[in-house]
Amino acid sequence: MKSRSLIAILVFVALVLGYSGVALAHGEPVITLVDKTVKAGGHMMITGSKMHPGAVYSITLESMEGSTHLGRAKAGKNGGVSARVVLPAQVAPGSHRVRIAAKGGKPVLLNLNVTPEITNKRVEQSRTISDVAVQVGRKKTAAQEGGTKSKAMLMPKMPSADLLRLKRTKSPVVIGGAVLLMLSSLTFGMVLVRMRGFSEAKGRS
């Protein structure tokens, strides 16, 4: 009876502690991206309020291809911040996240849509991005362009049945864990398959 009461008290305390650990929205920094869609190579504006005065915030672009540090921003005395950061030109078009965090603080994650660096409006109107592979070439110099502005280089790719060759490195922990799970599954599986009359044996004992 005592042990049950003890377990009940422990569960109650855990629940209370767990609940009190939930962060409340009051007083948290409010950070926004002025434009939700930005061209690769373009710039984006970040504004914030209710931030810790004088705190330095690190701005990072989180992508499926990896993370890119974009810069830092320092909050003013009033807790506000306004920063202009440049996106690298080689950022892949699509969905990304901007991570803004002070040292040791809780990060704020904002969704960002990146469009190709240079677009040809006429072609875009007639073809969706899934219909054509957009290969964005490097900007030519003014001399190469003959003094004109750089233009989009749209080169339709050809379909291919080839497989992608990706770098599939796995940490020793992952490989070790997988091998352990495999061996234990095979061992216990074999034991259970070979064990006959389990309930009868249990009943006799």
Partner 1 sequence: MLASDRPGFGPRAGKWFSERLGLKNLSYPIPEHANSLGYMLGGITLIGFIILAITGIYLAQFYQPHPNEAHRSIVYIITGAPLGDIVRSIHYWTVQIVMVTVILHMIRVVFSGAYKRPRELNWYVGLALLALTFGFIFTGTVLKYDQEGLEALQHYKGAVDLLGVFGTWFSEGFSRSLPLLTRLYTAHVTILPLAFVLLVLVHLHLIKVHGISPQVVPGATTRATAGEGTSRFTDHAWRLAGFGLLLLGLTIAISLLFPAPIGKAGIPGPEMTKPWWMFVWIVPAEEIWGIRALLIVPGVLGLFLALLPIIDRTPYLGFNNRKLLLGTASLVLAIIIVSGVVATLQPVAAHLK
Which residues form the interface with partner 1 (CB under 8 A)?
64-66, 92-95, 129-131, 133, 156-164, 166-168, 170, 174-175, 178-179, 181-186, 188-200
Closest approach of partner 1 to the CB of residue 25, in Å: 25
The number of C-alpha atoms within 13 Å of 53 and in the hemisphere containing its C-beta is: 2
Closest approach of partner 1 to the CB of residue 23, in Å: 22
Classify residue 153 by burial, with Cβ atoms within 10 Å: 0-12, 13-18, 19+. Answer: middle
Closest approach of partner 1 to the CB of residue 162, in Å: 6
- Token pair in block for residue 127: 């073809």
- Considering the complex, state which of residue 1 and residue 143 has its C-beta at the smaller distance from partner 1: 1
Q: What is the DSSP letter of 162?
A: P
- Considering the complex, state which of residue 34 and residue 92 has its C-beta at the smaller distance from partner 1: 92
Tell me how far apart the alpha carbons of residues 140 and 148 are, in angstroms, rounded to a whole number.
10
- Considering the complex, state which of residue 29 and residue 39 has its C-beta at the smaller distance from partner 1: 39
Closest approach of partner 1 to the CB of residue 86, in Å: 22
Three-class DSSP category at 154: coil
- Considering the complex, state which of residue 28 and residue 188 has its C-beta at the smaller distance from partner 1: 188
- Considering the complex, state which of residue 25 and residue 164 has its C-beta at the smaller distance from partner 1: 164
Closest to 93 in 3D by CA, of 50, 55, 56, 124: 124
In degrees and rounded to multiples of 5, residue 62 shows phi and psi of -100, 120
Closest approach of partner 1 to the CB of residue 81, in Å: 30
Tell me how far apart the alpha carbons of residues 4 and 9 are, in angstroms, rounded to a whole number.
9
- Token pair in block for residue 109: 């994650």
Three-class DSSP category at 74: strand
Closest approach of partner 1 to the CB of residue 104, in Å: 23
Tell me how far apart the alpha carbons of residues 100 and 135 are, in angstroms, rounded to a whole number.
30
- Considering the complex, state which of residue 37 and residue 144 has its C-beta at the smaller distance from partner 1: 37
94's CB contacts (< 8 A; 6+ apart) are: 64, 113, 114
